[in-house]
Structure 1
């Protein structure tokens, strides 16, 4: 990905694919479900939305952005919530435009935070810690989705239910082990030896154990002191994102039930990891429609409208919002630079 023209080509192709997936969503839904839905039917659902429902979606979306600032401020002491909001908005805009936007997002974070006077090491630690917490919760979400389905009685039989419980508990146990290893030295040593033994058994040449210990050394101080803030920030961030989906479901008439809505939300967040399009755009919407209609019996038009609305609030709107945040940052930086240049040394009063 070091070739600039290759990056541009892949980005254009990926964005084009995302747009096509959304434009041809009714045809994709027909292929997946053998049922017809038209843009006219979807538009009729959108037309029935009230101003109060749109205002509520906007408010919950803003609350989700505010909640995530606690993850970033927890990862980097000294970072303000306004700066964290700018970082999140700018990074999301880049990730939503590029299929492999993570590296560009990190570079952008360095540029913003260096401009605010932070040194390199705190920036690296923030990137690592926030990335670890996002990854842990991305693993936890499928387990929560499985538990939601099991609690709703959606398992076809006892064997599948038992397998579901086993899988969900195993995922949660793995996340607990990793979190404990990041916090406690003894658990880290045990996990490090286990990773070393596994790599030798699988004949993997990479030093996975050494990489884990280096990662832990870089992040241990922040993790030990600020894990409650980081965890609560992620819980509220994901909670508000689920609330956005719940409001979309209620507004479009696609509400399948509490446990079912949690399962749909968990699936939607997992599908955003599909790197074929930026943030899984188009793929996420198709998966949401398929689960709502096939598993929970929601009519096609409300289900499709819900998926598109949720995609708007968690993907599309972040692009212009991030652009505005970057524009404001650049404007303020230029104004401050001009003010500093205009202030001549003779105008500075000397201390007595």
Structure 2
């Protein structure tokens, strides 16, 4: 039932996207019709380059993980998260299974998850903070103001996380409080351990993590700019950076799978408020999300199918060897 409701909400948001910003689907279609095959190929290369940059972050967060496997984790986890309500948990469970099959311990995956989640949230907040600083330049604080209200709870969570990393006593205290809320969670014991493993990972890999994350965000901004450029929709870089910040912020709101619909409507509305043409803005956002959200589903699905086939083949070969040895 939840899946049906979530799917209907997503479809409704996307279907009514042009109307929400004062355009029609026919107008959006005319703009999108101007994209050439060559332009799509260039966009695909930039999209893949961004994912490859992010694989450096994943590899640094789990010592021994190759960048190829990091890319596989990223795409397969995203494919699951993008099709299921609250699919982030399902994507994490899938990644845990894959990492364990590759020989990593549950503890190592816990540290990996803690570091990558922290870096993901901090990077989004960094983009949002810079965009907030651009508001006086853009002279349109009202466009970003309502969305920035969502910034507060995320900021509280990050401050709490930073406190845990700085002071082990905070980890024990917060873990104890969470144990009272979530009984039998044993976070009073686990949180300090996660703190130590997280700090160890960040001490040894922070340069690669920082470089990979900055490159990833820069390529995301480049992809967003190119999406509007190939559609001949003129928007300044400060405005596009603000759009990226709104998009990053709205992905933190898991109302629908991958925040689909919410991101498109919210980001398009912000761009229109900043002076963008409604049809052009809607087309550019749909093209951008076509890569950063939609394309992850079939590509990640294919990678998951290949991984499952390889696992099945490995098990079959192992059984055959056991039969011969027996």
Q: Show the counterpart of 1:238.
A: 217
Pair 1:151–1:209, CA change in 2 (3 A): farther
Pair 1:211–1:141, CA change in 2 (3 A): farther
Is residue 45 of structure 1 aligned with residue 31 of structure 2?
A: yes
What secondary structure is seen at the aligned counterpart in 1 of 2:57?
Answer: helix
Deviations 1:109-128 (A, max 9, x none): 11111111222111111111
**What is the alpha-carbon distance in structure 2 between the residues aligned to residue 228 and residue 142 of structure 1?**
22
Q: Show the counterpart of 2:148.
A: none
Compute the displacement of 1:275 (Å).
1.7
Q: Show the counterpart of 1:259.
A: 238
Is residue 250 of structure 1 aligned with residue 256 of structure 2?
A: no
Is residue 104 of structure 1 aligned with residue 96 of structure 2?
A: no
Pair 1:340–1:302, CA change in 2 (3 A): same
What secondary structure is seen at the aligned counterpart in 2 of 1:97?
Answer: coil
Q: Show the counterpart of 1:149.
A: 135
Is residue 281 of structure 1 aligned with residue 260 of structure 2?
A: yes
Q: Show the counterpart of 2:208.
A: 229
Is residue 301 of structure 1 aligned with residue 279 of structure 2?
A: yes
User: Which TM-score applies when normalising by structure 2?
Assistant: 0.84
**What is the alpha-carbon distance in structure 2 between the residues aligned to residue 326 and residue 54 of structure 1?**
24
**What is the alpha-carbon distance in structure 2 between the residues aligned to residue 150 and residue 229 of structure 1?**
33
Is residue 113 of structure 1 aligned with residue 99 of structure 2?
A: yes
Is residue 320 of structure 1 aligned with residue 298 of structure 2?
A: yes
Q: Show the counterpart of 2:123.
A: 137
The answer on whether the counterparts of 1:149 and 1:260 sit within 8 Å (CA) in structure 2 is no
**What is the alpha-carbon distance in structure 2 between the residues aligned to residue 137 and residue 152 of structure 1?**
22
Q: Show the counterpart of 2:311.
A: 333
Q: Show the counterpart of 1:164.
A: none
What secondary structure is seen at the aligned counterpart in 1 of 2:14?
Answer: helix
The answer on whether the counterparts of 1:26 and 1:39 sit within 8 Å (CA) in structure 2 is yes
* Cα RMSD for the two superposed structures: 3.3
Deviations 1:204-261 (A, max 9, x none): 9769998764441231211111111112211111211111111111122333211111
**What is the alpha-carbon distance in structure 1 between the residues aligned to residue 309 and residue 230 of structure 2?**
38
**What is the alpha-carbon distance in structure 2 between the residues aligned to residue 148 and residue 51 of structure 1?**
34
Q: Show the counterpart of 2:15.
A: 23
The answer on whether the counterparts of 2:18 and 2:28 sit within 8 Å (CA) in structure 1 is no
Q: Show the counterpart of 1:4.
A: none
The answer on whether the counterparts of 1:192 and 1:209 sit within 8 Å (CA) in structure 2 is no
**What is the alpha-carbon distance in structure 1 between the residues aligned to residue 13 and residue 248 of structure 2?**
18
**What is the alpha-carbon distance in structure 1 between the residues aligned to residue 323 and residue 189 of structure 2?**
52
**What is the alpha-carbon distance in structure 2 between the residues aligned to residue 209 and residue 115 of structure 1?**
29
Compute the displacement of 1:78 (Å).
0.7
The answer on whether the counterparts of 1:145 and 1:263 sit within 8 Å (CA) in structure 2 is yes
What pairs up with 1:155-234 in 2 under 5 angstroms? 182=165, 187-188=166-167, 192=170, 213-234=192-213
The answer on whether the counterparts of 1:63 and 1:240 sit within 8 Å (CA) in structure 2 is yes
Compute the displacement of 1:97 (Å).
1.1
Compute the displacement of 1:24 (Å).
1.9
Pair 1:87–1:138, CA change in 2 (3 A): same
Q: Show the counterpart of 1:85.
A: 71
What secondary structure is seen at the aligned counterpart in 1 of 2:276?
Answer: coil
The answer on whether the counterparts of 1:149 and 1:155 sit within 8 Å (CA) in structure 2 is yes
- Greater relative CO, 1 or 2 (CA 8 Å, sep 6+): 2
Deviations 1:308-344 (A, max 9, x none): 1111111111111110010010111222222333336
Pair 1:60–1:218, CA change in 2 (3 A): same
What secondary structure is seen at the aligned counterpart in 2 of 1:140?
Answer: helix
Unaligned stretches of 5+ residues in structure 1: 1-8, 30-34, 162-167
What secondary structure is seen at the aligned counterpart in 2 of 1:79?
Answer: coil
Pair 1:272–1:282, CA change in 2 (3 A): same
Question: How many residue pairs are counted as aligned between the two chains?
Answer: 312
